[in-house]
Chains A and B, each alone.
Chain A
Amino acid sequence: LAKTTQPISMDSYEGQEVNITCSHNNIATNDYITWYQQFPSQGPRFIIQGYKTKVTNEVASLFIPADRKSSTLSLPRVSLSDTAVYYCLVGDSWGKLQFGAGTQVVVTP
């Protein structure tokens, strides 16, 4: 499974856009990119997944360049409740998710 590298932490203010970039230089042709969110004492929650270009849902956008060696999760207009750890994962269709340490996002008023 390809390894990922993402910042340890990011700070933001309410109402701002937060962009978290993840590096996955060894991503395989069949790998998809998936992002999860985790609050303290809860299990992770699926946010978004993509293979290439741009994917958008009601929660976030995922930007993937043509070489797929990185991806950026964009959280529009964050609120205090978006304070959480965000994980970037790559993997094959068996769903054997390999989590890293994630990015701790802290949103302040």
Chain B
Amino acid sequence: DTGVSQNPRHKITKRGQNVTFRCDPISEHNRLYWYRQTLGQGPEFLTYFQNEAQLEKSRLLSDRFSAERPKGSFSTLEIQRTEQGDSAMYLCASSSGGGTSSYEQYFGPGTRLTVT
């Protein structure tokens, strides 16, 4: 068990460019979550997957954001036509399933996005 990993750790991009982040959850965790965190605030829920199915998307997730989890393993979060307001830490977490275990989520180190 190597924990949740995220790549890249840092990304600097110019406004209008597309970016893609990858998250590798703990193996055999069937739930995967994406959050976004800005400075001084707690993480905000974006979306989550149960295996390969995306079950819910926050209203924070505009049409420029898309997430996938093919085959229920790793996940990618893509942001198209980035804006300066997208600058944030993007966190991925995984958990082993529903019930009380869904509260115990294991977070990755995050990808810090800076849009210039």
* Known interface pairs A49-B103, A95-B95, A99-B42; A43-B31 also in contact (CB < 8 Å): no
Shortest CB–CB separation between residue A92 and chain B, in angstroms?
9
Q: Does A29 contact B (CB under 8 A)?
A: no
**Using a CB–CB distance below 8 Å, which chain A residues touch chain B?**
32, 34, 41-46, 49, 85, 87, 89, 91, 93-102
Q: Are A97 and B43 in contact (CB under 8 A)?
A: yes
A43 B91 Cβ-Cβ under 8 A: yes
Interface contact A94-B43, CB-CB below 8 Å: no
* Interface set of B (CB-CB < 8 Å, partner A): 4, 31, 33, 35, 40-45, 48, 55-56, 91, 93, 95, 98-100, 102-110
Q: Are A44 and B99 in contact (CB under 8 A)?
A: no
> From DSSP, what is the main secondary structure of chain A's interface residues?
loop
Contact check, A46 vs B102: say whether CB atoms are below 8 A apart: no
A34-B103, A93-B102 known; A102 and B42 CB under 8 Å? yes
CB < 8 Å neighbour of A93 from B44, B56, B98: B98
CA distance A89 to B100 in the complex (A): 13
Option from B4, B33, B98, B105 in Cβ contact (under 8 Å) with A46: B105
Q: Can you give 18 contacting A-B residue pairs, CB < 8 Å? A: A34-B103, A43-B4, A43-B108, A43-B110, A44-B107, A49-B100, A89-B103, A91-B103, A94-B56, A95-B105, A96-B45, A97-B33, A97-B103, A97-B105, A99-B43, A99-B44, A101-B41, A102-B42
